[in-house]
Amino acid sequence: MTDHNPALENLLTETRSFPPSAEFAAQANSTPELYEQAKADRLEFWADQARRFLTWDKPFSEVLDFSDAPKARWFGDGTLNATYNAVDRHVEAGNGDRVAILFEGEPGDTREITYADLQREVSQAANAIEALGVTTGDRVAIYLPMIPEAVIAMLACARIGATHSVVFGGFSAEALYSRIIDADAKLVITADGGYRRGKPSSLKPAVDEALTKGTTTVTNVLVVRRTGQDVAWTDGRDIWWHEALEAASAEHTPVPVEAEHPLFILYTSGTTGKPKGILHTTGGYLTQAAYTTYYTFDLKPESDVYWCTADVGWVTGHSYVTYGPLINGATQVIYEGTPDTPHKGRWWEIVAKHKVTILYTAPTAIRTCMKWGEDVPAEFDLSTLRVLGSVGEPINPEAWMWYRRVIGGDRTPVVDTWWQTETGAIMISPLPGVTAAKPGSAQTALPGIEVEIWDDAGKAVGPGGGGYLVINEPWPSMLRGIWGDEERFKETYWSRFPGTYFAGDGAKFDDDGDVWLLGRVDDVMNVSGHRLSTTEIESALVSHEWVAEAAVVGAKDDTTGQAVVAFVILRGEALEAAEAEGGDKVVGALRAHVAGEIGPIAKPRSILVVAELPKTRSGKIMRRLLRDVAENREVGDVTTLADSTVMDSISAGMAGGGD
Ligand code: PRX
């Protein structure tokens, strides 16, 4: 455990507690008995949830087969269709008129899509993509802004049993290309562009560029017209989404697939350079996505207006925009843009307009709103809110308190939900109506989930102890592998403690046995709730001709949680150019280069040009010391450095302004 943030340790002295009100508890979906039911027979509990939340074409008889561990089979002999569960069955049950999606475009355009509308549009899209030769088992890359078509495209794929791979619209052409290649995608679904900070931004050019980087298996590109910008067109390959849908029938029979059929691949950063394609399958994933949406948010599909602010480019958008709420038949808001366009109250205006009752967002957004001040949300009626959720990184108690007081009117439960792309759905969270919430703690594994905290030797620690967070029983929405790399799957998650899933996070139990997450213990950073790999950014930097060597660390940042700080050694010629033209130009070019290789979110906050990097005698970069510099702390123990004077010059460089 090298990476603990000492500032987090004093969280454990938190004594504030917010028990549920009697009124809330009386109407809550969750009850304390849920934990007991799950404890009594964990597998039967999950089988009950799978039957309750999903409609199966062929019922399953087997719950879990873990004989081929770490690959699990949940509900393995059952068959079902994800889209039928998310859309059609609600129409069949007479809820076709219920609004599924309340869309707010950034420029102010709106759309209201009922479940019946969704069924029609998804069916047309499914027919359209089938007409392009896409079939069960194929992969489809989706590269779209946060517009209803993103959800419709995912559901259209799932309807025919094609596996979707959503690539966040903020990723670069290079990142898109590597994901298309890795998954052998046959089709790309994109848009001309989207709206971002009051302006149209483009997307299609990145697809065009990605497809010229090498030979791919892509035969067609379906293009949604969102902004009306001019786009380059490759005849025979590119097809307008609206034309393809208009030509397609609105009748389509969902294709039943086996429970373990691949529903989606989603790429996420790990400790090594190449993003991992996390594979999720159908039956178990949908069970846990639906179950957690219902219980952790106390969702009442008939009356709630739910809003998860995540983009579908991230796992939160998969589980808590597309699948969880729709499987439950909920009404949800989808907003395309940023919280401050055209004004800093935009989110709160949307909450007031649609009478949002459940809001799920990330600590970084909450801290940004704190910075903007209480007066901004105070202008809007937020009294309909009744549950608030947080995800993506540890939420500091001040942000938690602000969220509850200013947004939740001192009345709403706040659920701090811990999970990962790999876990597929929420794993640790308070249950509203049951748990007495503690600001800053995710608290308790959900009913049916077993987690422990282990020490270095793999021994479970008790209350008051700290170490590595492990999940010691398989769970329905667990990842089924890394696409195309079985060895890496075993090595990454199941080898630190052989046979047990290690999540990469450090955690502590307080004296009551509640879990406090302490951040990653590996070289993964968390910037605005988005996972970035230090190695991946280092690789991007050294791929620039000017850079000889690079080291990247995540430094504490008041708004984004962590920020990317890079230390680079330049090659001789670049150094001369830097001296001639001024370091700013070089640093600017390198930041732009990282944005081009990965995406703007990976752009270092600062880049410091150094003459040497701190290394151990065996050549390992000591990031701990660089983090000290980046966080303006006194540099720690340097005795294991090959050259202990290196840190003096780096610290002097940082003090001199660095970037
Ligand atoms: O370090 C944990 C942090 O985010 C990581 C997972 O990132 P990703 O796969 O991108 O998924 C983010 C959305 C689920 C975890 O390993 N993390 C996520 N939620 C929390 C958290 N850390 C502390 N508290 C949380 N509630």
What is the rounded (10 degree) CA torsion for 241, 243, 248, 254?
A: 10
* Cβ proximity of 480 and 280 under 8 Å: yes
Arithmetic mean of pLDDT, 472-476: 98
pLDDT tens digits for range 359-369: 999 999 999 99
**pLDDT at residue 2 is higher than 50:** no
632 confidence band (pLDDT: 50, 70, 90):
confident
What is the value of pTM for the model shown? 0.93
Q: What is the mean pLDDT of the chain?
A: 94
* Cβ proximity of 141 and 179 under 8 Å: yes
Please report the atom of ligand 1 found closest to the CA of residue 417.
Answer: 26
Please report the atom of ligand 1 found closest to the CA of residue 314.
Answer: 10
Distance of CA 211 to the CA centre of its chain: 26
Ramachandran area for residue 462 (φ above 0: left; ψ -120 to 50: alpha; else beta):
beta
Cα within 13 Å of Cα(261), Cβ side:
24
579 confidence band (pLDDT: 50, 70, 90):
confident
Distance from C-alpha of 217 to C-alpha of 200, rounded to nearest angstrom: 29
Q: Which of 301-310, 383-392, 482-491, 581-590 has the lowest mean pLDDT?
A: 581-590
Arithmetic mean of pLDDT, 432-452: 97
**Is the CB of 517 inside a 6 Å radius of any atom of ligand 1?**
yes
Distance from C-alpha of 637 to C-alpha of 632, rounded to nearest angstrom: 15
Scan for tokens 């906050």, then name that residue.
Answer: 605
pLDDT above 70 as % of the chain: 97
pLDDT for 184: 98
pLDDT tens digits for range 482-519: 999 999 999 999 999 999 999 899 999 999 999 999 98
**pLDDT at residue 641 is higher than 90:** no
Q: Using CA positions, which residue lies closest to atom 3 of ligand 1?
A: 393
pLDDT for 580: 78
Q: Using CA positions, which residue lies closest to atom 22 of ligand 1?
A: 393
pLDDT for 168: 96
pLDDT for 75: 98
**pLDDT at residue 11 is higher than 90:** no
Cα-flanking dihedrals φ and ψ of residue 25, to 5°? -60, -35
**Is the CB of 49 inside a 6 Å radius of any atom of ligand 1?**
no
Q: Using CA positions, which residue lies closest to atom 10 of ligand 1?
A: 531
pLDDT tens digits for range 613-630: 998 887 788 888 999 999
**pLDDT at residue 130 is higher than 90:** yes
Arithmetic mean of pLDDT, 136-156: 98
Site to probe by mutation for ligand 1, drawn from 479, 493, 531 as the one with most ligand atoms within 8 Å of Cβ, is: 531
pLDDT above 90 as % of the chain: 85
Cα-flanking dihedrals φ and ψ of residue 437, to 5°? -80, 145
Please report the atom of ligand 1 found closest to the CA of residue 520.
Answer: 1
Residues 6+ apart with CB under 8 A from 190: 142, 143, 144, 203, 204, 207, 221, 222, 223, 224
pLDDT tens digits for range 424-437: 999 999 999 999 99
4 confidence band (pLDDT: 50, 70, 90):
very low
Nearest Cα neighbor of 318 from 134, 167, 110 is 167
How many whole angstroms from 578 Cα to the centroid of ligand 1? 38
DSSP H helical ranges for 18-172: 22-27, 33-40, 42-53, 82-83, 89-90, 115-131, 148-160
pLDDT tens digits for range 206-263: 999 999 999 999 999 999 999 999 999 999 999 999 999 999 999 999 999 999 999 9
**Is the CB of 520 inside a 6 Å radius of any atom of ligand 1?**
yes
Arithmetic mean of pLDDT, 586-599: 94
Arithmetic mean of pLDDT, 535-561: 92
Please report the atom of ligand 1 found closest to the CA of residue 395.
Answer: 24
Q: Using CA positions, which residue lies closest to atom 13 of ligand 1?
A: 392
633 confidence band (pLDDT: 50, 70, 90):
confident
**Is the CB of 268 inside a 6 Å radius of any atom of ligand 1?**
yes
